[in-house]
Amino acid sequence: MFRLWTLLVGLPLCAAAARDAGPAADAPAAGAAAIPAGGSTSSATTLSGVLQWRGLPPLQWSIETTATPALARRVEGKVRVAADGLSGAADIVIDVPSGEIAWKEGQLQIELARWIPSLLTAAQMPPLPTGVTLEGALTAKTAGAWTARGLTGQADVQVRGSLECVTPALRVDGIVLALTLPNLSDLGDSPAQTARFARAKIGELVAENAEIRFRIRSLQAVDIDGAELSLLGGRVRAEPFPLRIESAGLEPVLATLTLENLALAEAIKLLPQAVTAATGTIVGSVDVQWSREQSLTIGRGILELRPGRRAEMRLAPQPGFLTSQLPERLALLPPSFGPIARWFSPLNPAYAAVEAIELGRESLVIESLQVLTHPEADAAGRTARLQVRARPVIPGPVGEVSFEVNLSGPLNQVLKLGLDERVQMPSTGALDPAAGKRNIR
């Protein structure tokens, strides 16, 4: 962030210092504010100009100084910068012979959408990813010095706004970021920082009340100490992970998420035509990765039903999903008995009960539920497995039903996350009678 402040305040200061120390140094307007011993002569001077540099929008700057005669060595005054969507001011002291500049009471306000892209370019920092826009405002209070040894000082920065991304479809609202930078020459001295956002929507997922705790190591390195947010009726916590920036942008990010008490009723909305209604909560963990090439991908993970709480589910109608595993009639005699065998083949009392379950007319009490994810696919080509053991809500001829639903393909496409709008799920969905295992007792 101090690179941006250097661009906005430091360059006008340098321009003014150069004019003060240039060929016109013997003119009253080029004097310094220090008053020689035994004298009190001074004069007011205003320097101004327009800065155009590295593609930045035109920046109006001015410096109001109180200067002493030409041989003085010091200029004091106030610098101001202004442009469309930007304003800043600071009290300055310029040491003319050395060109060193010190300032205090520095204040800066910028509109993010108008200035962040061009400021990143001018500061030779990686640009925002394609399709990403920022809205809102940045405000900063700063004091410091620009000397031959580099930049020193401190700054307090606040950002409030929103972020939107085209691919994947992402919008984040209510962003609040507060940075305390006590040592601009070494960002690693900065204390722990916190960022928050009120709501984020990525595809079909909605996250709320997020808090991210982090430490700045350098302009290219940030360590995430932890993060948590509300998702699917529960809480998701991220274990610590690093963020690193290279010349092309953000390096791939890998994080492990712990899922606490996610509502099964919300989670099933991500399954393609598998379950229409459910109660209960799930817990577990899953790895996620982000990269510029693949966007967001889901890694290895395990989710399980939280024990000790009643959970129910109702399957999406899928004829044959369960009834394909049992006969509609019971054969009491072998086929060799001919017509007599057909006379002694009564209806299977379990068939109607199982059919009601697979058509979504009857609910199941879930005894166990487990979801396993495999980002690289297992030996059978599965990237995720849903394993369920349940019993009918109303006791009857069927005591227990267990089944396994297999998913194949990249999970961010198979699950209805909306991360790739090109993906179309087949009408058969995940409950394919030819896929997975079913057992009925």
Name the β-bridge partners of 93.
76, 102
Q: What b/e string do you get for 241-262 counting C-beta neighbours within 10 Å, with b at 16 or more?
A: eebeeeeeeeeeeebbbebbeb
Q: How far is CA 229 from CA 210, 252, 283, in A?
A: 4, 21, 15
pTM across the whole model? 0.76
Q: Which two tokens stand for residue 440?
A: 């009925």
Name the β-bridge partners of 89.
80, 107
Write down the residue that tokens 């069927």 correspond to: 398
Residue 3 confidence (pLDDT) above 90: no
C-alpha span between 366 and 282 (Å, rounded)? 12
Q: What is the mean pLDDT of residues 308-315?
A: 90
Write down the residue that tokens 């200061």 correspond to: 13
Task: Evaluate whether 28 touches 20 at the Cβ level (below 8 Å).
Answer: no
C-alpha span between 256 and 301 (Å, rounded)? 9
Domain ranges of the chain: 2-35+42-251, 252-441
22-81 pLDDT per residue, tens = 433 333 333 333 333 334 455 678 889 998 877 788 889 998 887 555 446 778 889 999
271-307 pLDDT per residue, tens = 667 788 899 999 999 998 888 777 778 889 999 999 8
Whether the ω angle into residue 307 lies within 30 degrees of 0, i.e. cis, is: no
Q: Which two tokens stand for residue 152?
A: 């020193």
Instruction: Give 21's pLDDT tier (boundaries 50, 70, 90).
Output: very low
Q: What is the DSSP annotation of 255-313?
A: EEEEEEEEEHHHHGGGSSSSEEEE-SEEEEEEEEEEETTTEEEEEEEEEEEPTTS--EE
Q: How far is CA 411 from CA 110, 268, 289, 292, in A?
A: 40, 14, 12, 17
161-200 pLDDT per residue, tens = 999 988 778 899 999 999 999 999 898 889 999 999 999 9
